[in-house]
Amino acid sequence: MAKNGVRAAKAAATRARMLAAARSLFVARGYTATTMRSIADEAGVAVQTMYFTFATKRAVLSELLDAEVAGDTAPVATLERPWVAEALAAPPTELIELLVTGTARIHARVVPVLEVVRSAAAVDPDIAGLWRTNIAQRHTVLTVFAGALAAKAALRANPARAAETMLATLAPECYHLLVHERGWSRDDWERWAADSLVRQLLVD
């Protein structure tokens, strides 16, 4: 591997270590109580490295959230992911089931981090903006799914209302409540969410 390749690989590994440290501390302590220095100490890097790489704590949380949603650091939008293409091409009921399964995979990773964002949003305007952006991104994705569903089947509501119904049913807050607080398994949540959306959206 050339020197540039070695340097890039080392930088990527360090960045990943810092994000992992940030995730651990944000989830354990909350956003406000976590400092850039504490993340640096947890990651085993100088605090200057944290600031050079991310500049601000908000930027750390924002990048961590993006990585947790995606499941990797590849610059590929959700709507361009293979599982989304597979779901959008499926028949109506299967489309809903694949959407729910894909959402469950994302929630299993991201919900603890989203709880950090949601809690901090109440007291930090910058993080409130991050929370609103996340909701808007989810709504954009679900609007595409609602449009695809409307093109394949008769719906009980117009596509805009269908997207909002998906947004509420598949909300990370709902997943957190049922899985993390009430003890449902991920499979339990998937069955409930898929059945709920089929009943609410598709005409018999």
Section 112-136 average pLDDT: 94
CA-closest candidate to residue 134, choices 32, 64, 66, 60: 66
Q: Is the pLDDT of residue 1 over 60?
A: no
pTM of the predicted model as reported, rounded to 2 decimal places:
0.89
Q: Kindly report, residue by residue over 79-105, the tens digit of the pLDDT.
A: 999 999 999 999 999 999 999 999 999
Query: Which pLDDT value is given to residue 95?
Result: 98
How far apart, in Å, do the first and last CA atoms of the chain sit? 59
Q: Determine contact, residues 96/197, Cβ cutoff 8 Å.
A: yes
Whole-angstrom distance, CA of residue 36 vs CA of residue 32: 11
Sign of CA dihedral 39, 17, 71, 104: negative
If you search the block for the tokens 């605090």, which residue do you land on?
47
Whole-angstrom distance, CA of residue 15 vs CA of residue 68: 14
- The interaxial angle of helices 57-70 and 125-152, nearest 10 deg, is 20
Whole-angstrom distance, CA of residue 98 vs CA of residue 116: 27
Instruction: Give the bridge partners for 202, in sequence order.
Output: 155
Q: Kindly report, residue by residue over 4-36, the tens digit of the pLDDT.
A: 677 788 888 999 999 999 999 999 999 999 999
Q: Is the pLDDT of residue 200 over 90?
A: yes
Q: Kindly report, residue by residue over 165-194, the tens digit of the pLDDT.
A: 999 999 999 999 999 999 999 999 999 999
Section 56-71 average pLDDT: 93
CB-based burial label for 174 (10 Å; 0-12, 13-18, 19+): middle
Mean of the per-residue pLDDT values of the chain: 94
Q: Which domains does the chain have, with CATH numbers?
A: 1-55 (1.10.10.60), 59-201 (1.10.357)
Query: Which pLDDT value is given to residue 5?
Result: 72
